[in-house]
Structure 1
Amino acid sequence: MNTIPTTSPIASSGMDLRNMDIETALLAVQTERVQLLDEQLMQQMEEVQARNEQIAKLAEVQTGINELLQHFGSDAKADKKLKDVYKGNLNTAIKDINEKLKAAGIDTTISGDTTKGQLETMLQETKNAVDKANNTQQMDMLRLQSLSSKRNEAFDVMTNFVKKMQDSRNSIIANMR
């Protein structure tokens, strides 16, 4: 009679609807749906936040590489080495950019022997990674919006159901008087 397929979230949550009246069962199902959507929503928000952090780290890498490229003249050839043009403390600059690369999850490192061409290639790869992350971020945001709408709809259904149950009870009580 009130059986739930074994593949449903309700069945897997251990909820037994056989001993419940229809109103309680429907309320339990709606409550479970809202809770599941809340969990998905929280997970999606965490993914969006992680992607934002990754984009910020990649932006720091871009800034660092651009700062290194500024030391090359506009007429510098692609095979010109960083150590030959850098003015200032090269070791500190290399340590800083390598820390940014590592934080962004990029396993490449820069040294004094890194050439202008290599830096330009790294910059382009970083830009591509930012573009890819931004595109994925847009998809994540659409999914987040969809989940939020579904959650709100489920909550509204549950709230309306509770209100209708209460109205029915009030009507029955009023008819008994």
Structure 2
Amino acid sequence: MVGAANASQPSLGGVGLESSSGVRGADLVGADQETAMLSVQGERARLLDKQVETQIQELRALNRRLELLNIVQAGLKAVQAQFNAGAKYDKEWDDASGGWSYRQADRINRAAAEAGINLGFASDSNTWRLFGHMGDMKDFARAYLPSEQAHLLEQWRDKADLRGHLLAAQLVDRMAGHDGFMTPDYPGQTLNRCPGGIRYDSEYGELRKAVTRVQGAIDEASNLQQDQLLRLQALMNRRNESADMLTNYIRKMQDSRMAISEKIRGT
């Protein structure tokens, strides 16, 4: 059975006292009134400082997520701009103007993964088109493939060299998975994959849905950001008031002791 003393947590001026707090009821037993009040006011200020710090950390995390979501949205809209206004919903990114970009896919998917949002793009098997329709394929090959393989892919792009086509098919079987595209962490590594992330063959209809989904997440995060800013401001006001109270109390204590000392000297 839980005793009445444990039924509720003690508080100081509306700020809860934790079990690890610096002031406990037992600590105040036997203390003079001034010392007890000073301890209480100091503990209240400490707890408010801790709450402000926690709120700032939460707000920073939310700001980072909002930043990432905006990166994702900007990338998705840039991809969307590659499609004609009347594009069919099943038209793929690799068939859009300029082809697909590994850099853009990587930027979108990494930001989405860090923000914790699934963009909803379907997974699928890959073909040679992953390399063949990559607008910045030469840059990718030079950055992540051995020089001889990079050269073959360049010859394929520039001169339709069949050996490059065959190499692309082999690389897809060895390197690529089924989910959204992310670059290797180092040359020679298999490609990273992002579940629900954008792919070279993601369709225009999927893209439109992803833009709507991300915008909803941005709006939600923005509203939460405003709420947290208001809460932080309220906490800071309370902390400042507590600091002023503590300062005033210390000043009154000092004035009182000084007055007593002067009376003693005057006797």
Same fold flag (TM > 0.5)? yes
Matched, 1:152 2:240: yes
How does 1:17-96 map onto structure 2 within 5 Å? 17-88=28-99, 90-96=101-107
Out of 224, 237, 261, the position equivalent to 1:173 is: 261
Q: Greater Rg, structure 1 or structure 2? A: 2
Matches of 1:77 and 1:10, distance apart in 2:
60
Match of 1:143 in 2: 231
1:102 aligned partner:
113
1:39-94 C-alpha deviation (Å, 9 max, x unpaired): 00001011111111100000000011011101101121222221221414534433
CA distance in 1, matches of 2:202, 2:87: 14
Distance 1:96 1:172 in 2: 71
User: For the structure 1 residues 168 and 91, does the alpha-carbon distance in structure 2 shift closer, same or farther, using more than 3 Å as the test?
Assistant: closer
In 2, are the aligned partners of 1:55 and 1:133 still within 8 Å (CA)? yes
Aligned length: 173
Q: CA RMSD in A?
A: 1.8
Q: What CA distance in whole angstroms lies between the structure 2 residues aligned with 1:106 and 1:87?
A: 27
Is this contact kept in 2: 1:62–1:127, CA < 8 A?
yes
The alpha-carbon deviation at position 112 of structure 1 amounts to: 2.5
Instruction: Encode CA deviations 1:119-167: one digit per residue, 9 max, x unaligned.
Output: 1111111111011001000000011001001001111111111111111
Match of 2:185 in 1: none
Which stretches of structure 1, 4 residues or more, deviate above 6 A after TM superposition?
A: none
Partners of 1:175 and 1:37 lie apart in 2 by: 38
Task: Give the helix-richer structure, 1 or 2.
Answer: 1
Q: What one-letter code is carried by the residue in structure 2 that aligns with 1:69? A: Q
Instruction: Give the alignment's TM-score, normalised by structure 1.
Output: 0.90
Amino acid at match of 1:18: V
Alignment partner, residue 128 of structure 2 = none
